[in-house]
Chain A
Amino acid sequence: AQSVAQPEDQVNVAEGNPLTVKCTYSVSGNPYLFWYVQYPNRGLQFLLKYITGDNLVKGSYGFEAEFNKSQTSFHLKKPSALVSDSALYFCAVRDPTSGTYKYIFGTGTRLKVLA
């Protein structure tokens, strides 16, 4: 069965420092991986995705994510955090061999960027 784990409930980082939000996955086939961000009282917004190709994927708002097949990870990164990056971040996976269109979401990681 496909699954996604976000091992940290919360990540605190100082403004200007690099940030990493962790995600690991488990699927039977090659994964399609996504990151979403949720601001208060809003729906989730798509940040970036990995389908195939380069392991480093660039997305919106200066975020990027690194796909590591051997470690089954897809960590979200940003070189320099902004206070406005404070939000809830979700990793999601789709397994193209599963025969379904389901997205499996992680439990979310709350990012706090401190001024």
Chain B
Amino acid sequence: DARVTQTPRHKVTEMGQEVTMRCQPILGHNTVFWYRQTMMQGLELLAYFRNRAPLDDSGMPKDRFSAEMPDATLATLKIQPSEPRDSAVYFCASGLGGINSPLHFGNGTRLTVT
């Protein structure tokens, strides 16, 4: 059963450190989304890609967050420098390009910044 793989599952880091989260989308999927989930804000869209090209990253704090797709099998989300308010669960999701295609989510990276 194909699935989206996210690493690491958990990350605890100190404020100011760089954090890199990785996502392997399902083979053949050409859209990749990054979401952040917190109790207060719910699900927030950070960025998304189609055919590895960034289409929208307006949800990301530009000064510290960056998202890339070095190749079709890897998407990365980096935070530098990290802050306590970045503590959240970060989800990657992939999908086929059709407008009616559902998203397939990974199990997330739980980030704690102390």
Contacts and interface: CB of A to CB of B under 8 A. Distances in A.
Interface of A: 32, 34, 36, 41-46, 49, 51, 90, 94, 96, 100-103, 105, 107-108
What are the nearest 8 A-B pairs in CB distance? A43-B105, A46-B102, A44-B105, A105-B43, A51-B100, A107-B42, A96-B99, A43-B107
Contact of A44 (B45, B50, B91, B100): B91
Contacts of B14: none
Interface in B33-50: 33, 42-43, 45, 48, 50
B106 interface: yes
B105 A102 contact: no
B103 A41 contact: no
B42 A108 contact: yes
Contact of A101 (B31, B91, B108): B31
Given A49-B102, A100-B56, A102-B45, A43 B50 contact: no
A40 to B, nearest CB: 11
A101 B48 contact: yes
B90 to A, nearest CB: 11
Contacts of A102: 45, 48, 56
Contacts of A43: 4, 91, 93, 105-108
B104 interface: yes
Given A43-B93, A108-B43, A101 B103 contact: no
Interface string B37-80: 00000110100101000011000000000000000000000000
A100 B55 contact: yes
Nearest to B106: A43
Residue of B56, B100, B106, B108 ringed by the most chain A CB atoms within 10 A: B100
Nearest to B55: A101
A103 B103 contact: yes
13 contacts: A32-B99, A41-B107, A43-B91, A43-B93, A43-B105, A44-B105, A46-B104, A90-B43, A96-B99, A100-B56, A101-B48, A101-B50, A105-B42
B85 to A, nearest CB: 20
